[in-house]
Amino acid sequence: MKRLNNTNNTINNTNINNTHINTICPKCDNYTIKANISLDSYPNKKAALASLSRISAKEFGLKNIMTWEEKDLTLDELGKLLSSGHTYSNLFKKKGNILRPSDKRNDNFIGSQIITIDVDDTNFILPEFCGRLSFKPSLVITSYSNLKEKNGKICERFHLLYCFDRVLNKEEFQGISGFLVDTIENDTNEKVDNCSKNLSQYYNGDNSNIYGNNNIIYNVNNIINNTNYIYYINSHINTICPKCDNSDKKEIIIEKYSRAWNLLNTIRNCGYSEVTHYYSYLGYFYRNESCEEGLKETSDNYLNILHSKNKQDGTKRRKFIYTNMLLRRYMKPNITIEELIYNSYMDVNYSKLVDNSDNVFDADYYERNAKNALSLEIDELEDYLKPVIEKIRSEKPKYMIGKKTSIGEIHKLVRKEEKKKIIKNYNNGEFDKINVSDRTLRRLGLGKNKDKEEKVKSLIDLNLSVLGNQKLLKEKGINISRTKLSNIIKSIKDNNTNIINSHINSICPKCDNSDNSNSESEIFVPGFGFDSWFNIESEPEVVDNKEEEIVIDNNIEYNFSGFSLSNL
């Protein structure tokens, strides 16, 4: 196990001169931190995620699901365990000494002595990133995805662990987590993962066997009494700048968010039935076009939210619900924060788009992400959501169905709409858009699908059998029954026969038509094929039982023996 401390290759461990921070025993390796550490270690993130349920653990070849045991560890001991593949979690109420995934719930939360900030997308190397921070982390653990391609980018990815002199309660944990995220973003001008405020979140370690130790334990009281922290908490709770004396601006902001605070408090303190009872008037919508009853064809500008079924942890479910927030903001630019929060709440608790058994989607999540969504301009949303919108519109349904429409009525209306389209395409001569049989066309009072029949005739090979032609047409993407194909082939052959007969019968060889006796005549000679035609200027002499050489056009010689042209 390699410990990296006070080296230029890892974290810039400059002295912290901030008077509002007191470190406890910065040189003492015996100060312990209380945390839940997994009993097993995991080689990668996929194995860790699979171990959260018995079914996926069995499929992945793991013997046990992930469980944690509460331990008191020094910073070095904690760093060694986390950098060897163990995971860690906050402190929860549990039965016995072992914490199971089902115990890791918000209502079981006791507290935590560690706050973890994930850095997954940075343009800095690790020492440079940490060197910019006002608050240096106690420990740094690299992520499983460190220096690997993720979301099309390769960069350093790591966890910043901030350890405290005592266990933080819920309010302290979430307040300080938000404060640290805000401070880090200001220090680096980069966004970091804000999932650190989630009470039930567990954190993966890494199997690199490398960690950074700054020997820093933060004093909780000195942080919460710091003026910057107080300013952050006030601005976060009141959503207005506490130093701003603009009363008009205050009134507007308070009016804008006052009802949202009531909704958020209802979500925090009450259940689903109370939320829907008091706030159903806000309306739950999932597309930008409506259809109260009957059937309505979707337009080119149709848009709906993303759909899923009970999306599980590890499948970017938080980003999924946030994307739906952005889509609703784009569909309805004047949407209020109250409507946005209520609709996202319904996505989670009514439509069950994601799994929320661990209560990740709480009032704080809705408030934070609704504010982020409303802070974006429509142009920014359009650029951000462009690939999502293109995919939704490429897979959009043909029709919207009214809420009050029965299943039987739906089938009738669909058939009616399809008939209208067929008739319209037929009348416009767009036969290639008609994908129904001739029988269906006749039932609609129309003729045959002329375009399809002409295409079939042009592809038929008379040298092949009916079955052979059927296979040939199938390769060209045309499905036709054997009986119908046989009739078409027969009609082609009959038509050819009629043409030939008309040529043969056009001149009667026994007809003594004096008017035509001196004119050029086209004579068909059996034995020379359908295309063997030649011109004779005058009636030849009769030649019986002897050979005669006759020279015709183009100096081609023909020998006739044993018959006369008069016998034709």
Q: State pLDDT tens for residues 243-257.
A: 344 444 333 344 445
pLDDT at 436 over 50: yes
Asked if 49 and 162 touch (Cβ cutoff 8 Å), the reply is: no
Q: Is residue 407 part of a domain?
A: no
Same domain, 360 and 211: no
* Local confidence band at 80 (pLDDT 50, 70, 90 cut-offs): very high
Q: Is residue 19 part of a domain?
A: yes
Dump pLDDT digits (tens) for 27-60. Answer: 445 789 999 999 999 998 888 888 888 888 888 8
pLDDT (mean) for 329-353: 91
Residue length, the chain? Answer: 568
pLDDT at 96 over 80: yes
Residue 436 CA, chain-centre distance (Å), reads 33
Radius of gyration (C-alpha) of the chain in whole angstroms: 41
Same domain, 207 and 289: no
Asked if 203 and 162 touch (Cβ cutoff 8 Å), the reply is: no
Same domain, 185 and 307: no
Q: List Cα–Cα distances, 253 to 14, 236, 265, 337, 510, in angstroms.
A: 41, 13, 18, 11, 110
Domain boundary at 359, 383, 399, which?
A: 399
Domain boundary at 204, 235, 266, which?
A: 235
Q: Is residue 261 part of a domain?
A: no
| Domain count of the fold of the chain | 4
Give every CB contact of residue 10 below 8 A, 6+ residues apart in sequence: 4, 126, 127, 140, 212
User: What pLDDT, on a 0 to 100 scale, did the predictor assign at position 414?
Assistant: 64
Q: Is residue 154 part of a domain?
A: yes
User: What pLDDT, on a 0 to 100 scale, did the predictor assign at position 11?
Assistant: 36
Tell me the C-alpha distance between 82 and 84, whole Å.
Answer: 5
If one compares 346 and 266, the residue with the highest pLDDT of the two is 346
pLDDT at 468 over 80: yes
Same domain, 483 and 523: no
User: What pLDDT, on a 0 to 100 scale, did the predictor assign at position 451?
Assistant: 61
Residue among 409, 464, 454, 456 nearest 429 (CA):
454
User: What pLDDT, on a 0 to 100 scale, did the predictor assign at position 243?
Assistant: 37
Q: Is residue 245 part of a domain?
A: no
Same domain, 502 and 547: no
**What is the token pair recorded at 22?**
């007191």
Domain holding 78, by residue range, is 2-235
Asked if 328 and 285 touch (Cβ cutoff 8 Å), the reply is: yes
* Local confidence band at 263 (pLDDT 50, 70, 90 cut-offs): confident
Same domain, 141 and 49: yes
Q: Is residue 462 part of a domain?
A: yes
Same domain, 482 and 350: no
* Local confidence band at 472 (pLDDT 50, 70, 90 cut-offs): confident
Same domain, 526 and 382: no
Dump pLDDT digits (tens) for 152-168. Answer: 888 999 999 999 999 99
Look at the pTM and tell me if it is higher than 0.85: no
How high is the mean pLDDT of the chain? 76
Paired with 213 in beta bridges are: 139
82, amino acid identity:
L
Q: Of 14-18, 327-331, 456-460, 494-498, which has the strongest mean pLDDT? A: 327-331
* Local confidence band at 13 (pLDDT 50, 70, 90 cut-offs): very low
Same domain, 87 and 142: yes
Q: Is residue 410 part of a domain?
A: no
**What is the token pair recorded at 536?**
């004779």
Same domain, 499 and 528: no
Same domain, 199 and 295: no
Domain boundary at 374, 399, 424, which?
A: 399
Same domain, 198 and 337: no
Asked if 170 and 111 touch (Cβ cutoff 8 Å), the reply is: yes
Asked if 116 and 134 touch (Cβ cutoff 8 Å), the reply is: no
Dump pLDDT digits (tens) for 546-565. Answer: 444 444 444 454 444 444 44
Tell me the C-alpha distance between 294 and 406, whole Å.
Answer: 9
Which 3 state secondary structure label does DSSP give 472? Answer: helix
* Local confidence band at 299 (pLDDT 50, 70, 90 cut-offs): confident
Which 3 state secondary structure label does DSSP give 430? Answer: coil
Q: Is residue 22 part of a domain?
A: yes
pLDDT at 372 over 70: yes
- Using CB atoms within 10 A of its CB, is residue 429 exposed (0-12), middle (13-18) or buried (19+)? exposed
Tell me the C-alpha distance between 532 and 335, whole Å.
Answer: 83
